[in-house]
Amino acid sequence: MLRKLYDRVFDLARSRHATKALAVVSFAESSFFPIPPDVMLAPMILAQPQKAYFYAAVCTAASVLGGILGYAIGYFLTDLGLAIMRVLGHSDGLEQFRAWFDQWGLWVILIKGLTPIPYKLVTIASGLAAFSFPVFMAASVVTRGGRFFLEAWILKRWGPAMLAQVEKRLAMWSVIGLVALVGLIVVLKLL
């Protein structure tokens, strides 16, 4: 079963629609979609390492554009923004978000944008807090670009060797990935 799923992901990564799908997922993840673009970006880079930086650029541009939608949801559609934040486990309320951004502002965007924490939390919370839009945009470009280009560089440089190991021990790496994902979710819930 794992081998079939693995092969399907790589088939999609090599398909002619892969770049468009990556852009759509990157855009949507920044405002409402629950799955991060890395799930598509990594296999696409591993399938075609010569396009690593192109894929990182597509991912960055689409993510930043999606971040504008997330910001707009928080800024113009406050009730919807708060509802999305509650669904994501952050029901602190509008005043808490404003206080958070008043105190930490730019650092919230820079730090959280580099991590696997869903970026939609940052974009919607930035809009809810009416954080400076130009600063939000600049920080989004820096942080999302930094994350995706670093991922592209790592996968381009060490990806083929890592891929050979993953293919050799697919079940073991799947279990390790699942344990890491569960651990990350637990840590995020405790924050």
Can you give the pTM of this predicted structure?
0.77
Q: 111: how many CB neighbours lie within 10 A of its CB?
A: 14
Predicted pLDDT of residue 191 = 62
> Is residue 139 over pLDDT 70?
yes
Is pLDDT above 80 for 114?
Answer: no
- Mean pLDDT, residues 23-49: 86
Range with top average pLDDT, 19-28, 80-89, 177-186: 19-28
